[in-house]
């Protein structure tokens, strides 16, 4: 199991705390420090729509220029923006076996890890 995000994100903090409190081992990947490859994003996009991965409510998206925002029209253009601005990705991204999930809700994590 691998958790992707940035450490100062409140939602990531909640997910990490939940996993720790429930005694669930996971590998942490800080994509600000460790980077993010096109392969990571491509793998996520096999299971998640690009629209779900782009956080249009976040500060990073709002700070992008209008031309860049308008250019995000498909998975390829979304990938380019995510690689150039990893903070635009909705967090956290949890990869378990062959499942990829975005965001954090305790009930979702419980259901995922109980199956």
Residues 9, 15, 41, 78: which is the catalytic one? 9
The Cα 91–Cα 13 span in angstroms is 10
CA 112 to chain centre: 16
- Catalytic residue flag (residue 56): no
Residues facing residue 29 across a β-bridge: 4
Helix H or strand E segment including 52: helix 50-53
Q: Is 73 exposed, middle or buried (0-12, 13-18, 19+ CB in 10 A)?
A: exposed
The residues annotated as belonging to the active site are: 9
């Amino acid at each position: 199991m691998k958790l992707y995000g940035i450490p100062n994100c409140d939602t990531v903090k909640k997910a990490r705390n939940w996993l720790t409190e429930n005694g669930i081992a996971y590998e942490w990947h800080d994509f600000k420090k460790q980077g993010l490859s096109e392969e990571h994003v491509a793998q996520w996009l096999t299971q998640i729509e690009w629209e779900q991965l782009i956080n249009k409510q976040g500060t990073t998206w709002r700070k992008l220029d209008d031309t860049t925002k308008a250019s995000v029209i498909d998975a390829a253009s979304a990938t380019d923006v995510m690689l150039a601005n990893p903070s635009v990705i909705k967090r956290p991204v949890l990869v378990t076996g062959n499942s990829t999930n975005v965001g954090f809700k305790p009930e979702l994590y419980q259901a995922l890890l109980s199956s």
